[in-house]
Every structure is written in structure tokens, then in C-alpha cells.
Structure 1
Amino acid sequence: MNKVTDDSLISEQLKNDVIAANYFDYEELSISPDDQQALIVFGNHDMPEEEYEQGRRNRSIRLLNLNDGAYTELLSSDEDAHAPSWSPDGSKIAYLSCISGKTEIWVMNQDGSGKRQVSSTHSSVQNPFQFTKLCWSPDGKWIAYRLMPNGSRNSLIYNYKKKKPSTDIMVFRTRKQNNKDYVDYISSLYRCELHMIDMITGENRRLTHYSNGEMDIIGWGDGGTIVVKENDELKKVFVSGSGQKLLYSGDADLIKMKGQSLYIASVLHSSVEINFQDKGKLQQLCRVEIPGYEVKLHDFSFDASHVFLTAQRGLSNYMFSIETSTGELKQLTDETRVIYSYHHTAGVKCFHKEHSVIFPYSGPSEPMEIWKRSETGNMEKLSHFSDGVITYPIPEVKVIKYERDGWIIESLLVLPVAYESGSHVPTLVFLHGGPEGTIIADFKELNCAGGQSAAFFLANQGYAVFIPNFRGSSGYGLEFQKELGNLQIMRNPFKDVMAGVDYLIEQGIADPDAVGLYGFSYGGGLSTWIVSQTDRFKGAIGICGIHDFLHQDRNYGVPFHAFRPSRLGEASPKDMWLRPEMYK
């Protein structure tokens, strides 16, 4: 494949630019009370394992003007600043920062001046605030927050594995082979506490103590109460210390409080159910089937008349709205675009005074930026964060669809920079992990190398990069995933890959004498397995590949094939041990 043979030939500037572009994961959005500004939290996962497991993400906070797109960086990634929260009058911003050496609550003026540490926890862990929400009281004097004094479950598990337990840890192991289910549960004196802190004096009060339970703050209620969600229950906690009261029990993925009333939205399989509760009486408003998969609820409009959500269909991640009173469903964004993903978790945020929303929005050739959809339906790009960062040529990306065994296989094809139509070019095939992973039409998916394809980098070296969503990929329905069953977990994806390569050769794009293969995780194992089945490829690279399916059986009590029902089908897990032909 006589392209790049000497690393010195690869532009150092290109490598640096590609790396810099990966520092733009949109993690949080927060709109000011007057709807004029928004706080954006950027983060990334490029850090040592221990820092990552303890909750570090190199996060920074920028202030974006929602009228002209101008922005200011208020807090740098050195602080790992996150969880920003506007005071009720919009004059102050509370946030979490580790600038003092340990994560604590800080506050600053809305322009970034007057930074001041508010909390001083006595926890022995570096970040007892993981995944918390800072919630101002209506009078702006207090903030409610969640504290995990022994750390999050992830940090406890990490410390246990590294034999550095900070407290007594018990390990429970259960095997239910008949149900093909395995649970490896690590617990501890896990505590999840509700606190409130005076933003002027720093006086701190612990209101509740939850042992071995999950708790999230929903918001401040009326009459000196804080509404929390503990597992599947909504409770009203009295800040006077006089106890708590159960408000609701059941599914509740998204909650909106309006006075004493609750709007509750839940994802139930492929549908969304919206309920209304007033004075303890629950009423179902609607239940709506969603035309997609991986449904995620994001936000209610300010008046609870609409709920906004995203759902995946193939390469695309769409935004929808549901009118809560009628159940009317509207698709609000186009195909081959992405809003919410593994990298970009900020999602959709509603304005406080109008039916407009902001959200991160990306296409395969367009970097993720903040967009606004107004209440009239007008779409407008607000931010230009990637300007000056992405200086290298962005290659052309095409959606490729072809047929194999009656299935339509959807894929992305990244063409070399300055590609001339009709020319045969060296082609690399990238295989995603899972196998229930998927490739989506997201700029970062094609730009990043951290488990992704780094396709843009390779396209700038003269390669075409072909990325198929082979059978088993998510976003295409359960029947598509069931094609992995009956011991076809390698064979059917292999067929789809080969059909795609044949298609590119027939279309006069791929040079048949210069095709390579690489993949990550399951895709890494599939890459190395494929070259044992065919001589079509000139080389293959398996990155963090899964090469011994029996290893999971020995260590976790369930074979890789049987980890999900769709992987096993009608076959038996014993076939992995008794039928060597399944590996051929």
C-alpha cells in the first residue's frame, strides 16, 4: 500500500491539530435565567487511568453569548471545572473545581471575576462530588448538593482492584447460568448524602444519609423543601430536618416541577410515557412510540408543554419534541446529523422564557457546535469554537448503502483529500467495537483515534477509509442484532465487510491490490480473524482486540457469545467449548 512509510513524512502540525480537535466533548449546557448566555462545559478523557476513575475529565467552562456567538473562557481545564449553576438572579455562577488540590464548591460572578471557594469537605477522596448537581435555593442563599464521602462506585471499584481500599469493601458474586445472567457487584460502605451549604458563610448541613442507594437532586420545592430522586422514588426532604415525604414511586427518567405539580417522562422500551401528578393524583397525559432506538430524554420546555428527546436511527441521531397534552411527535433535525452521543453528552437545553432550545450539532464533515432552534423552527449556528483549531483539510464523506443476505448495510466512506473521481485509491476498512457498537455521522467519530477510526488523519495521507455498520450494530433494530446469534458473531459481520469491499472495488474507488483492515475491541478481534479467512487484505491491525472468547467464560461465568441474548440465539453456550468449527 505504498503511501506513508516514514513517520517523519507525516506533518507534525497535522498530528497536533487532530489531537487538539479532540478536546471538544460537550459535556454540559446551562442557560442563564434571562436566556441571553449559556455556560458550556468541555471535557475529554485524555488522562492517566487513576485520575479518570476518580472522576477527572480535564473540563473547562466557557461563557457563550446567545445573541452574537462571542465567548469567553471562564475556567481552564487545569481546574477540571464543571457542574456550573446560575443563581436565580443570574449574577453568580456556582461550580465545582479542583484548583485547590481537591474538588470543592466554588462561586464566581457571571463575568468570571470574584472566584471564591465555598465548601471545605473532610472526605478522604479527591472528588466526593462526582455526578452531583448544584442547585440554588429560590432566594439565592443556599445550594443543595449530593456528596459521596467515600467516592463514587467507579472510584471504589478502582481502589479495590488496585488494592487501595479507602474503607471496608465487600464483594458479592452471583452466577445464574440458566438465565445467562451474571452479576459481579462490588459494594462498600457506600454513602450518598444530601447537603445544603450557605453560599456566604459556608455553613454546611447534612440533611439525609442514603446507604447503598442512588440519589439525585431534582430541585427546590415550596415551603423549604428539596425534591430528590432516590432509586425509583421521588421524595420531598424538609430542610428544617423534620424528615421527608414520598411524592411518587415508579419510572421517572425526566422530571419537571411546577409549583406542587410534577410532570414525569419515562422511556418504556420504544415509547415515551408522560404523566402529570397534582396533589398526589397521577394522570397519564400520553404515550408515544418513537421511530428510533437509544431514546434519551433531555428537557421539558419552561411551561412543560413540550418534552425534547433524541433517538438514533442508523447513522443519525435525531431530535424530537412531544407535545405533552396531545402526544404530537415532531422530528426537528435532519438525517446524517448527530446531537447526543457517547462523546457529546450535553444534549438539548430549553430556554426559560420561550419555546427555543440549544444543543450541540454535528455532521460527518462539520465539527460539533452549539445550535439554536427557535420556537418558529428556525435553525441557527451560534458558536464557532472549532475556528482556528481545525486547520487541516476536511475530506469529503459519503453515506454508502449496499445489500448482503437481504439486509441493507449502511456505512460511511471518507475519501482522500483532493480525491479525483474515478481514481482507484488505497483503502482502509475500520471495524467498530461491541459488536453492538455503531458508527454515527459525527465529526469526532471520524476525527478521533481513541477507539475510533482517525479517518480524517488517514484521508490526509491519501487513504480512503470505509466504516461499515455491519450486522449486530445498534440503531437498526433487534432483528439486525439477532444476526449475531446461532454462532454467527464473526461470520455475518465478516460477510458484510467483504460485500462492502467488493462494492467499493466495483464502484472504482478501492484499489483491489491495496486494501487494509483495522479495528478496535471486538472490531480488533474481527480484523485479525478476517485475515485468517481471506487473502483480500494486505494487512490488518487489531487494537485492544478480543481474541479469546472463552476467557470471559473462565473469568466472569458467561461466554462472550452469550453476554446478550441477541448474541446467542438458539445456540448453547457449551458450543463454544464443544464445536471448534464455529471459529472457522
Structure 2
Amino acid sequence: MNTASTSHTDATAYVEEFFARTRGGADFIITTATDLDLAPDGGRIAFTAVVATAGEPDPVRHIAVIDVATSRLAHWGPGHAPRWDPSGSRLAWLTDKHITVRELDSDSRLRTFPVEGVPEYLLWRPDGSALLVGVAEYGAARSDVDGSGLMRVDAAERQPGVPVVEAGRARPRSGGRGVWLLDPASGDGTRVSPPEATVWQAAWAGGSSILCVTSDEPSESAWYGAELAVLDPATRTLRPLPSGDGQAALPAANPSGSRLSAVIGAMSDRGLYVGDLVLIDPDDGTYTAVALGDVDVTSQHWDGDTAIVFAGMRGLDTVIGRYHVDTCTTEVLGVLEATCGAMTPEITVGSGIIACTTSGYGSPPALTVLETGTAPRELVSFAHDGTDYLAEVGGRIERVAWESPDGVTIEGLLVSPHGPGPHPLVINIHGGPVWAWRDEWSMHYPHTPLLASRGYAVLHPNMRGSLGRGQKFIRDGLHDMGGVDAADVVAGIDALAATGRVDPARVGVTGNSYGGFMAAWLVATTNRFAAAIARSPVTDWVSQHYTSNIPGFDRMCLTGHPLDPQSSYRARSPFYLAAHVRTPMLLIAGAHDLATPPEQASMFHRALVEHGADSTLVIYQDEGHGVRGSAAVVDQCARMIGFLDEHLATGGAR
């Protein structure tokens, strides 16, 4: 293909063939493993298997178990989020409306218990006598990481004509989250958190209390002000604990409940948890930050009563380590140039063994274990014919670094197509912004290997606001959105252009969520880009504050009142700079997105058109925050390829 323009039909055919070949031809393929849980004796790992099946466009979730010694794999049926009981003789997991318990010592008997709402996580009491279940009420919001929108009852259960009502300052009567205890013998369930409180996360703190992340009201925005508290399930009372400077997440405790821990830091999305590891006194609530050598912690698990095994990021590396509480010493167990986990580095721990799902840009997901004193051991790879094709056409990855105008070193990952440059360049800006690009399979989304197969180089910058560089680096980006982070990105273009590997006249930019905001902001404040694709963007922080379900985010980041024309709400909004945009724009949103409502894209589109700019708006009627359904992903990718081919004129490889 050597033309400067690609029709939508040609782009669709190219993308459909690409996805058909990356899926491979076999039926019932496990593509990755999530929600890993090691049995107490370290002998088996239960996990959620993400399965692709022939004839079905979207993957499904199944429970699978692998034997650590033999790598023998067994499928146990539909479900997700499996958890072993303390004896290793029972496994519980979730479905959309039920808890399932499989008893291994009773001819693998299955018992299923209904739940009043949507179960989101579960944990066994340390003595195995009860299950702690986190339950979201129908009508509760999904996080933007989970696609946004609302959890609803089935169509047959809905009452026609019943509206959604907001009543001033009155607390909403539905849509909250609570903690339930389920008796696995009888199936009886009881809510043990107070009805006026929302519990976002919870963990057993011994057998008689529960460490929670809570807020007073259930809105998605309330998560930004959530705090730690200890729940007494017998009295249904919460005792608040101080959480210091930052949000609290990932509560945990040692088996005896004598020591508590959590991750505290600046976070931008529920579902992307990162910060400093802290130890908490269960009596007076005082806490101590743990020094872990500049690692931003994203996963932590107690290994016995006196050690915590953690995972996180330091720069572009994934670090796994063990902190010994009594001696205040840290043991580094592994430093991975590639990574582990789904959205952020994640691990599970049992009987001295660590398990995780590892991957790299050129290495498909694999279930891996780390044992003290030995090299990581791969139990099973989820490679197949389709992953071989993707690795072949997806180009090569390398770490890059450059200096921002204020002298701060910025890191990123560059994926380049095979063959000599200079290549047209697409800047792919991550969401959050408290997240980070890692060297992982497909760079988490299909866009990067698809673009590389088409002849584009793709830069993934970890600008200010990204994790992996400590809390100051994160807060510098959060509190200067569109300022230092925008300068970081533009400096990356200059650095790459200076090497001769990319063509500075053919540079595009894309991003989702916060990355969508950045794509819109950059073309409103500079003419450096030949094309821009903003997906699920924020373009006007004023209307975003009053229409989004997460106004707590912009309150955390921006200064002044939203209705004050002199505030940063207006000064940092691309919408008010529409007259300055000269870059062709493709705006994409989902109709069900509550986090960055589709009006953000449509408002900017109409403002651009009124000022004579080249703009196209695409709204997916069945999607929320980010495009996820297979058919919509194919369509979106085809539109992206056609748009970039038209404006960046690449001669993509076939």
C-alpha cells in the first residue's frame, strides 16, 4: 500500500484479517490468566482463565487450576476471582449473581449460593468458617477501568417507568457497596457493614475484625475521599483510621491480625492502585511508611506474620520483593524488564512461593512461579499460532529516555516496525494519568502491534503523573495537567527526531481517557501533529465536573471553582481553544460512559467544525469508557488506520 489515503473499506479488510490471524484457529484458547490465588501449601494455583472460543467474538471467563509440580491444567467451569480456603480443601469463586464453592474432599461437590447484588471479591475467614464477600448493589457504578456504566438488574426485573432521582444533598438510597458474610455450610448470608457506609475494599484482620476502605456515600466520586476503617462484624460498626496524605487501597493483614498494611498515595482511577506501602497499628491507627527503594507498590500480600511480599514499578522495571517487618529489611526477589499482572504488577503468595502472569511485548502471557533461590519457572505459556503471528508483525520494542525542558529525565517505550526508518510516529498517551506503560504483551491494547504492522513507530511516554518514579513525580503531573506532562511528551518527539528514526513531519497522537484529554490538549496548544485521535476524552473540565460521575478527580487536580472563568478548569480545557486547532481530529466515545461522558467528544467536535477544522466524531452506542466489544474494537481500529494513513501517508507493510 503506497497511497496517501486509505478507504474505510480497505482499512476494515486489513484490520479484520489482522485480528483473524492473531486469534488463531483453535477453539477454547486461554489467552491470559488473572485473579491468581496460590493454595496454602503452594501446590496449586487457581485463576481466572480468559478464554477465546470459536464462533464467539468476545472472550469468556472460566475457573482453571494448575498443578505447580506437574503443570497439569484443569478447567472447572464459568466464573472468576477464585479463592482457596485456609485448608486448601475448598475453592470459592464468583459468577455474576452467585458464589460457588467446590469441596475437593467430598467428590468435588459444588454448592452455589445466590447473592443480593453483584459480588465483586471474596476472602475466606482465617479459620475457614465464613466467606467475606464484597457486594455492589444493582445500580452501582462500574469504575472507568472496568468500562464505566451501571450494574443493572436483568431486563425482566426492571420496573418500567421508574426514574433515577437525585435529591439535593440527600444521600442516595441505592448504588452502594457493602461487606457480607456467607456461611459456606448453610449458605446463609448477612450484611455486616453499616447500611450508611460504602465499603470499596476489605480484608480480614484476624478472624474477628475487617480492615476496610470506606466512604460515607456511594457515588463513584466518593472513592477519591475514601479512608481506612476497622469493621467489627459483630456490632456492624466502623472505627476510622488515619490515612495520611493520599488515598488508601489494597488493605491487608497478617494471619493473626496483629499487623495491618495498605498502599497509600495519589491515585487517579479506582482499579489502578499504587502508592507507598504502609504498616498500621491495629490499636491506635498510627502508620509507618516502608522504605522500598523508590518502588511504587501495586500489590502486597502477607507471607506469614512477619513478612510482606510486594510487587510494583521502579522506572520501567517491575520489582518483586519481600519486606521483613521485624528487621525492617527488604529482600529483592526479582527485577523484570518485562512485567507481570494485568493493569499493574500483581502477584499471589503461598507457602513461600510467588506466582504471577508474566509477559513482554514479544512474549505472550505465561503462568510463572518464583521460588526462593531459584530462577523464575514458567508453568504454562498461553502462546498459540495467533500470538506467533502477532510477535512476527508487531515490530520490536526498546527503552528510550530523554530530557524534558526543566531537566527531568522522562522514560518511555518505543515500538518500531521492522525495516529502516525514518518511520511516521504515533504518540500513544496512557490514561490515568497515574498509570504507566510497561513492556507487556501487545502493550495492553491491540493498537500498538496493529500500527507497527502498518509501518508506524509508536512511542509510549511515561510523562509526569506516571507511576514508577515516586509520589513527587506523580503529583507533579496530577497538579499540572497539560503543563509539565505536555512538555514531557513534546520533548520526546524532538529526541526521537534527532536520531533519524522517525519523521518529525509525520507525527500523530492518540490516547484514551486522560490520554484522550492530552491528545485534544496538545493539538489545541501546538501545531506539531499531523493527526490526532482522542478516545474517551475530557475536553471541557467545567462541564466534566457537572456531568461526570467522578468530579472528585478534577477537584483533586485543578484549582479554583469550576464556574470561575479565571480558574484552571477553563484554562486547561481544549474546548475553549478550539479556534486554534489546525490538526485533523478523530474523536471517539462510548454512549454509556459515565466517567468521561460522550458529550465531551461531541462538544469539542462541534466547536472544531464551527471553526472550520477537520473533525470526525464516532460514538459507539453499546460501549462505555473505552471500546471493549470485539466488533467495536475492529471498527475503531479500522477507523484509526484509515485516518492515520490519510494524514500521515505511511507506506504500510502487508
Q: State the alpha-carbon separation in 2 of the partners of residues 407 and 267 from structure 1.
A: 26
Q: Distance in 2 between matches of 1:17 and 1:547?
A: 36
Q: Is the 8 A contact 1:484 1:566 kept in 2?
A: no
**1:489-521 residue CA offsets vs partner (Å, 9 max, x unmatched):** 435444433332222222121134433332223
For residue 18 of structure 2, what is the amino acid of its counterpart? L
Work out whether 1:538 is the aligned partner of 2:542.
no
For residues 35-184 of structure 1, what are the structure 2 equivalents within 5 Å?
35-43=42-50, 58-75=60-77, 79=78, 81-98=79-96, 103-108=97-102, 110=104, 114=108, 116-120=110-114, 123=116, 128-135=117-124, 138=127, 143-146=130-133, 148=135, 150-151=137-138, 153-154=140-141, 158=150, 171=166
Do the aligned partners of 1:369 and 1:381 also contact (CA within 8 Å) in 2? yes
Q: How does 1:251-400 map to 2 (within 5 A)?
A: 254-258=251-255, 262-268=258-264, 271-274=276-279, 287-292=289-294, 294-301=296-303, 303-334=304-335, 336-340=337-341, 342=343, 347-352=346-351, 355-392=352-389, 393=392, 394-400=394-400
Equivalent position SS for 2:443: helix
**Range with bigger deviation, 381-390 or 248-257:** 248-257
The answer for the alignment partner of 2:188 in structure 1 is 204
Q: SS of 1:503's equivalent?
A: helix
Tell me if structure 2 keeps the 8 A contact 1:137–1:144. Answer: no
Given that 2:360 and 2:441 are in contact with CA atoms closer than 8 Å, whether structure 1 keeps it comes out as no
Partners of 1:550 and 1:576 within 8 A in 2: yes
Which residue number corresponds to residue 178 of structure 1? none
Structure 2 counterpart of 1:441, one-letter code: R
Contact 1:428–1:515 under 8 Å retained in 2:
yes
Q: Is the 8 A contact 2:139 2:152 kept in 1?
A: no
Q: Distance in 1 between matches of 2:466 and 2:506?
A: 26
1:7 and 2:11 equivalent? yes
Match for 1:426: what amino acid?
Answer: P
Q: Deviation per CA, 1:146-168, whole angstroms, max 9, x where unpaired?
A: 37484473279837999968999
Structure 1 residues 415, 22: CA separation in 2 closer, same or farther (over 3 Å shift)?
farther
Report whether the alignment pairs 1:213 with 2:197.
yes
SS of residue matched to 2:500: coil
Deviates more, 1:397-406 or 1:552-561: 552-561
Q: Label 1:97 to 1:267 Cα distance change in 2 as closer, same or farther (>3 A).
A: closer
Which residue pairs with 2:491 in the alignment?
A: 499
User: Contact between 1:369 and 1:382, CA under 8 Å: does it hold in 2?
Assistant: yes
> Conserved in 2, the CA contact under 8 Å of 1:191 and 1:212?
no
How far the C-alpha of 1:85 sits from its partner, in A, is: 3.1
Residues 480/314 of structure 1: CA separation in 2 closer, same or farther (3 Å cut): same
AA of the residue aligned to 2:73: Y
Letter aligned with residue 211 of structure 1? P
The root-mean-square deviation of aligned C-alpha atoms, in Å, is 4.7
Whether the 8 Å CA contact 1:550–1:560 is kept in 2: the answer is no
Partner SS, residue 153 of structure 1: coil
Is the contact made by 1:561 and 1:573 (CA closer than 8 Å) also made in structure 2?
Answer: no
Give the secondary structure class of the aligned counterpart of 1:383: strand
Q: Which residue of 2 aligns with 1:52?
A: none
Change (3 A) 1:447 1:456: farther
C-alpha spacing 1:44/1:547, structure 2 compared with 1 (3 Å) = farther
Q: Alpha-carbon deviation of 1:172?
A: 6.5
Q: Provide Cα deviations, 1:134-192, integer angstroms capped at 9, x if missing partner.
A: 52784x7x543437484473279837999968999874666xxxxxxxxx974438573
Q: 1:49 corresponds to which residue?
A: none
Q: Tell me the SS of whatever aligns to 2:323.
A: strand
By relative contact order (CA 8 Å, sep 6+), the higher-ranking structure is 2
State the SS of the aligned residue for 1:524: helix
Q: Which amino acid aligns with 1:461?
A: R
Change (3 A) 1:539 1:17: same
* Deviation of the 1:106 alpha carbon: 2.4
User: Are 1:574 and 2:576 counterparts?
Assistant: no
Greater Rg by CA:
1
1:107/1:164 CA distance change after superposition, 3 Å:
closer
- What CA distance in whole angstroms lies between the structure 2 residues aligned with 1:574 and 1:283? 37
Letter in 1 for 2:567: K
CA offsets, 1:10-42, max 9 Å, x none? Answer: 264531354689985643122224322111114
Answer whether contact 2:465 2:478 (CA < 8 A) is retained: no
The aligned amino acid for 1:321 is: R
Distance 1:111 1:382, change over 3 A: farther
Stretch moving more, 440-449 or 111-120: 111-120
1:322 Cα deviation after fit: 0.6
Matched-pair contact (CA < 8 Å) for 1:24–1:43: yes
CA distance in 2, matches of 1:247, 1:524: 40
Q: What does the per-residue CA deviation read over 1:98-151, in whole Å, with 9 as the maximum and x for residues that have no partner? A: 5xxxx2232335599856343245x4xxxx25223152784x7x5434374844
How much does 1:327 deviate? 0.8
1:550 aligns with 2:542: yes
- Return the alpha-carbon distance in structure 2 between the equivalents of residues 136 and 561 of structure 1: 34
- The letter for the 2-side match of 1:59 is R
Number of the residue aligned with 2:39? 32
Post-superposition offset of 1:446: 1.7
Distance 1:85 1:579 in 2: 45
Relative to structure 1, is the Cα distance of residues 248 and 572 closer, same or farther in structure 2, using a 3 angstrom cutoff?
Answer: closer
- 2:635 equivalent in structure 1: none
1:278-300 deviation digits (Å, cap 9, x = unpaired):
xxx78999752233364234211
| Partners of 2:124 and 2:419 in 1: CA distance | 52
Q: Secondary structure at the match of 2:19?
A: helix
C-alpha distance in structure 2 between counterparts of 1:529 and 1:149, whole Å: 36
Name the CA shift for 1:250/1:407 in 2 (closer, same or farther; >3 Å). Answer: closer
**Match of 1:210, SS?**
coil
1:407: how far off? 2.0
Match of 1:10, SS?
Answer: helix
Distance 1:120 1:467, change over 3 A: closer
Is the 1:549–1:561 Cα contact (8 Å) retained in structure 2? no
Q: Deviations over 1:405-431 (max 9, x none)?
A: 112121211011x334xx322222222
Q: Aligned with 2:340: secondary structure?
A: coil
Distance 1:463 1:22, change over 3 A: farther
The aligned counterpart of 1:523 is 515
Q: Report if aligned partners of 1:144, 1:196 keep a CA contact under 8 Å in 2.
A: yes
Secondary structure of the corresponding residue to residue 150 of structure 2: helix
Instruction: State percent identity of aligned pairs.
Output: 18
Distance 1:265 1:172 in 2: 37
**Helix, strand or coil for the counterpart of 2:372?**
coil
Query: Are 2:414 and 2:458, in contact at CA under 8 Å, matched by a contact in 1?
Result: yes
**3-state secondary structure, aligned to 1:59:** strand
Structure 2 counterpart of 1:458: 451
1:17–1:389 Cα contact (<8 Å) kept: yes
The one of 416, 428, 437 aligned to 1:440: 437
Alignment partner, residue 404 of structure 1: 404
Deviates further, 325-334 or 511-520: 511-520
Residue 563 of structure 1 aligns to a residue whose secondary structure is helix
Deviations 1:83-106 (A, max 9, x none): 3233555444332335xxxx2232
**Closer, same or farther in 2 for the Cα pair 1:2/1:62, shift >3 Å?**
farther
Letter of the structure 1 residue corresponding to residue 368 of structure 2:
W
Which residue does the alignment assign to 1:188?
174
2-side partners of 1:577 and 1:203: how far apart? 54
- 1:446 and 1:173, CA in 2 relative to 1: closer, same or farther beyond 3 A? farther
Q: Which amino acid aligns with 1:497?
A: V
Q: In the alignment, what sits opposite 2:210?
A: 228
Uncovered stretches (5+) of structure 1, i.e. residues with no partner? 46-55, 175-183
Q: Which runs of 5 or more structure 2 residues have no equivalent in the other structure?
A: 53-57, 143-147, 215-227, 266-274, 581-654
Mapped contact 1:119–1:197 kept (Cα < 8 A): no
Indicate if the aligned counterparts of 1:316 and 1:338 stay in contact, CA closer than 8 A: yes
Q: 2:460 aligns with which of 461, 467, 470?
A: 467
